[in-house]
Chains A and B, each alone.
Chain A
Amino acid sequence: MLDFLKKLFSGDEVSSREQANNRLRLVLTHDRIGSSPQLMELLQEEIIEVIARHVDIDGKPEVKFITEGKHTALDINIRLKGR
Chain B
Amino acid sequence: MGENTSQGQVIVVTSGKGGVGKTTTVANVSTSLARMGHKVVVMDLDIGLKKLDLILGLENRVIYDIIQVIEGECTLKQALVKDKRFPELYMLPAAQTRNKDDIKPEQVQEICKQLRPDFDYIFIDCPAGIEQGFRNAIAAAERAIVITNPEVSAVRDADRIIGMLESANFTDIQLVVNRIRPDMVKRGDMLSIEDLMEHLCINLIGVVPEDKNVVISTNKGEPIVLSEHSLAATAFNNISRRLTGEEVDFLTLEDGTFWDKLKNRLFPSR
Whether A31 touches B159, Cβ cut-off 8 Å, given contacts A20-B152, A24-B152, A70-B201, is yes
Q: Is the beta-carbon distance between B199 and A28 smaller than 8 angstroms? A: yes
Residues of A close to B190: CB separation below 8 A? 16-17
Interface residues on B, range: 10 to 19
Q: Are A32 and B163 in contact (CB under 8 A)?
A: yes
Give the total of A residues in contact with B, Cβ under 8 Å. Answer: 15
Q: In whole angstroms, how far apart are the Cα atoms of A25 and B190 in the complex? A: 15
Cβ < 8 Å to B, chain A residues 25-62: 25, 27-28, 31-32
Partner of A28, one of B151, B156, B192: B156
Q: Nearest chain A CB to B200's CB is how many angstroms away?
A: 9
Q: Does A3 contact B (CB under 8 A)?
A: no
The DSSP consensus for interface residues of chain A is helix
A17 and B160 in contact, given A24-B199, A25-B199 (Cβ under 8 angstroms):
no
Known: A17-B195, A69-B201, A70-B201. A24 touches B189 (CB 8 A): no
Contact status of A28 and B188, CB under 8 A, knowing A17-B195, A20-B152, A69-B201: no
Residues in A with CB closer than 8 Å to B151 are: 20
20 A–B contacts, CB within 8 A, in A order: A15-B189, A16-B188, A16-B189, A16-B190, A17-B185, A17-B188, A17-B189, A17-B191, A20-B152, A20-B191, A21-B191, A24-B191, A27-B152, A28-B155, A28-B156, A28-B159, A31-B156, A31-B159, A32-B159, A70-B201
Which residues does A use to contact B, with CB under 8 Å?
15-18, 20-21, 23-25, 27-28, 31-32, 69-70
Supplied contacts A15-B187, A27-B156, A28-B155, 17 more A-B pairs, CB within 8 Å: A16-B188, A17-B189, A17-B190, A17-B195, A20-B151, A20-B195, A21-B199, A24-B156, A24-B191, A24-B199, A28-B159, A31-B156, A31-B160, A32-B163, A69-B198, A69-B201, A70-B201
